[in-house]
Chain A
Amino acid sequence: MMEPLLDVKELTMDFGGLRALDKVSLQVLPGEIVALIGPNGAGKTTFFNCITGIYKPTGGDVFVTPPGKKQRRISGMKTHRVTAQGMARTFQNIRLFPEMTVLENVMIGRHCRSRVGVLGAILRDGTTRREEKDIVDTSYAILEKMGLAEEVNELAKNLPYGDQRRLEIARAMATGPFLLLLDEPAAGMNPRETDALEELIRRICKEDNIAVLMIEHDMRIVMSISSRIYVLDYGRMIAAGTSVEIMENPVVIKAYLGEEEIEDDKCS
């Protein structure tokens, strides 16, 4: 049994009296593409915000095990520290840096992998120049891989929607992650773009050996791409399994379609 990259144990999040996440457990193994699905308001994005440190979870633990390193507890860690650990995310509503160029957007991702401080920036010594060149080259290589090489000097806000989505992934890739967290990467895309995205995610997973955990509503891409699927409803994890298991699971069908006569014993 491989050590899971991400191990979430009984994560709980309360907003005042509202329990947004109730003892949610989830694992991502190396090389996996895992999908997290659920109806609107189920707490999927809250889950992402909790494990990336944007919210402080009120209970439970989150552990990460970067490849070749020891397990670390990251719950309660600050967001930028979590990213430095090797978990990078994208956002449901695109959050690029609109007035910066495409290349600069990706270069920001390299921030946590570079060291030069104020003095180095002013003096611009050999170390700084080498590091800067490394940042630019790495960022450009990522953009080339993502098929955005043509637009490097364009402002991010001027990109078409689909490219902006890809740029967000590119920016997350630049942080050198072992796990990508994608929040609805296919939202607002047409079927052709979705197919391209699916291809891209597969490639990232295979070539760069980055595991993917994604929230998605588009069932076509979820069913075809994921090794495993978790289903969240009202803050509870109601099912987990392969795509076939999930599709046939009556509890999941109930959560989505509101069917009534279901025996409770299948719920686990």
Chain B
Amino acid sequence: MDLPQTVPIREIREDTLAIRTFVLDAELPDAEPGQFVMLWLPGLDEKPMSIAHPAPLTVTVAGVGPFTMRLHQRKVGDPVGWRGPYGRGFSLHEDGPALLLGGGCGVGPMRFLATRAVERDVPVTVALGARTENELACVGDFEALGVDVILTTDDGTRGHQGHVTQAISMFADEHPQFAVYACGPEAMLVAAHRLCREKGLPGQLSLERYMKCGFGICGQCALDGFLVCQDGPVFDVEQLDGLRDFGQARRTATGRRLPIR
């Protein structure tokens, strides 16, 4: 869909204090894991959101700014617009196990990918990371899928203490070859990129940039010569080698490159 379709919110789930999952009255049967929709709050703004489940359309959103905080205030039945799906999603390697890493609200697309992997009989382990126990989101969704779940927290209040990317090394001790899929804060993706390249593992990482159009013409989401909306948001680790902007800079609404905090 190219013009936003406004539909009621069917269901809202509070995952953590900061993260909520919204189920919309829309079906995207052809969406791929890793793709995104442009989510519109009429009269306010529109932002790209990764798809957590395609039918019914589900997104898992952290309240981090004015747009997402206003979304969190929406109630069941309120109208929300969507257009998409857009972008290049994950392509699942079917010849070995998959390790999925979700940091913070990066769990959304990992849930869709885990569902797809289970459908295709690919062995899946999901590692979910957060700062502390009560920030871990959507753990039950993965347990319900019957996949192995590794939990990490920065402060050690639940699961392994440390960053979620340690799961790559832990998993490598037991498996000679596997593929890594990750979504989360860019510092986490930089760590995942480095580990994949050191260990020679195939990896796909889902990135985030400020977007306007979502379909490859405004140029706002430029990551070096790539357009995150169209060439991504999912990139192979090889594509990210040596990029000036990866882990370093993002563009704001004006188009200015600013360092990533």
Do the two shown chains form a genuine complex with each other?
no
Using a CB–CB cutoff of 8 Å, the interface residues on chain A facing chain B are none
Using a CB–CB cutoff of 8 Å, the interface residues on chain B facing chain A are none
